């Protein structure tokens, strides 16, 4: 069985998280445009209807026949869950082989969030494809991983060290790849605890290997993967005169992975930097997600805030600086007989 270019469900993550998780009062979609599909947020530059997305590559189809509705990228056929490569055997020979391939358009496999993994006690795996470079240039790319063992005795839990499991990092810019996995001895002698070889790209923080993986992965078809995205093919320096690139109260930055550019709201603002007036001021003094630095009085200002002290205190009001200190009162007293007279009273700073 060979899996190619299937229309797969999309969950929008990675670079989109900042916009997708913004508080409800901050806009994420163009006015009048749908901003959700089921439990998935749809921030611009993505969109579900004409005039709601940046270009055709960012068009999302929301299929309401599912419960809840599911979001699909119609032109990229991309899912953050990718098929596992498998090579399985029984006493009579091979029973299953899956060799997945994925080709992306503007999306790039995140090298920071994903790893390449092979699992099995008789496993040789390889990932081959292309790296997207500046302009339209692409370079061939290949990485391999091998794991072996002839008994469960030495297969560790919670670590992928080469015995039954091998993992390696990915290069930047991978946008087109296929995964192949084979065995050297058809799993002879280990069929009872390791009948299959597996290989896949997976989000690193969601990966945990154990001995049970050798059998349990037979029932798993897909695993989560993170992709990066950007707009266009031009860098920030090349689009700096384009007023429609990054909107007000935002800044442009070049992605770590792939070409194009990305936008983010300036410090003190939150929302969708791709929308006009999409980045709105945060009230750092009242927003529960912001840990302001004031000890006593916090006053919000556009994109910032200031700290001050109440009457009777002095200092800058900041936790990591002077803070607020109570003013000291000095009293000069004259004692005459049994009586105490307050001659002078003033405050020191």
Do residues 174 and 130 touch, judged by C-beta distance below 8 A? yes
| pLDDT value at residue 332 | 54
- The answer to whether residue 216 scores a pLDDT higher than 80 is yes
Say how far residue 128 (Cα) sits from the centre of its chain: 24
List pLDDT tens digits, range 138-189.
788 899 999 989 999 989 998 998 899 999 999 888 888 999 999 999 999 9
pTM score above 0.75: no
List pLDDT tens digits, range 31-40.
899 888 887 7
Long-range contacts of 140-146 (CB under 8 A, 24+ apart): 141/171, 141/174, 141/177, 143/116, 143/168, 143/170, 143/171, 144/168, 145/116, 145/117, 145/118, 145/199, 146/118
| Strand-pair partners of 139 | 131
């Amino acid at each position: 069985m060979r899996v190619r270019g299937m229309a797969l469900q999309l969950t929008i993550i990675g670079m989109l998280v900042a916009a997708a998780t913004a508080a409800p009062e901050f806009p994420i979609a163009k006015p009048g445009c749908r901003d959700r599909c089921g439990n998935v947020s749809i921030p611009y530059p993505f969109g579900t209807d004409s005039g709601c997305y940046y270009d055709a590559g960012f068009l999302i189809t929301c299929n309401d026949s599912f419960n809840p509705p599911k979001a699909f990228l119609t032109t990229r056929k991309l899912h953050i869950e990718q098929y596992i490569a498998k090579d399985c055997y029984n006493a009579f020979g091979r029973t299953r082989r899956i060799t997945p391939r994925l080709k992306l358009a503007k999306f790039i496999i995140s090298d920071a969030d994903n790893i390449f993994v092979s699992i099995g006690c008789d496993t040789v795996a390889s990932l081959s494809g292309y790296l997207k470079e500046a302009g339209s240039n692409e370079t061939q790319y290949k990485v391999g991983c091998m794991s072996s063992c002839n008994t469960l005795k030495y297969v560790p839990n919670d670590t992928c060290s080469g015995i039954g499991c091998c993992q390696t990092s990915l290069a930047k810019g991978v946008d087109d790849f296929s995964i192949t996995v084979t065995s050297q001895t058809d799993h002879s002698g280990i069929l009872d605890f390791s009948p299959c070889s597996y290989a896949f790209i997976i989000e690193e923080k969601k990966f945990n290997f154990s001995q049970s993986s050798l059998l349990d992965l037979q029932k798993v078809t897909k695993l989560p993967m993170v992709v990066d995205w950007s707009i266009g093919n031009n860098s920030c320096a090349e689009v700096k005169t384009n007023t429609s690139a990054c909107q007000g109260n935002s800044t442009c930055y070049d992605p770590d992975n792939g070409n194009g550019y990305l936008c983010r709201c300036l410090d003190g603002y939150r929302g969708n930097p791709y929308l006009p007036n999409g980045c709105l001021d945060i009230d750092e003094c009242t927003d529960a997600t912001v840990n302001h630095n004031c000890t006593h009085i916090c006053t919000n200002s556009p994109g910032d805030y200031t700290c001050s002290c109440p009457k009777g205190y002095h200092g800058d009001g900041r936790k990591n600086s002077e803070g607020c200190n109570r003013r000291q009162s000095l009293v000069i007293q004259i004692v005459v007989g049994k009586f105490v007279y307050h001659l002078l009273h003033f405050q020191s700073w």
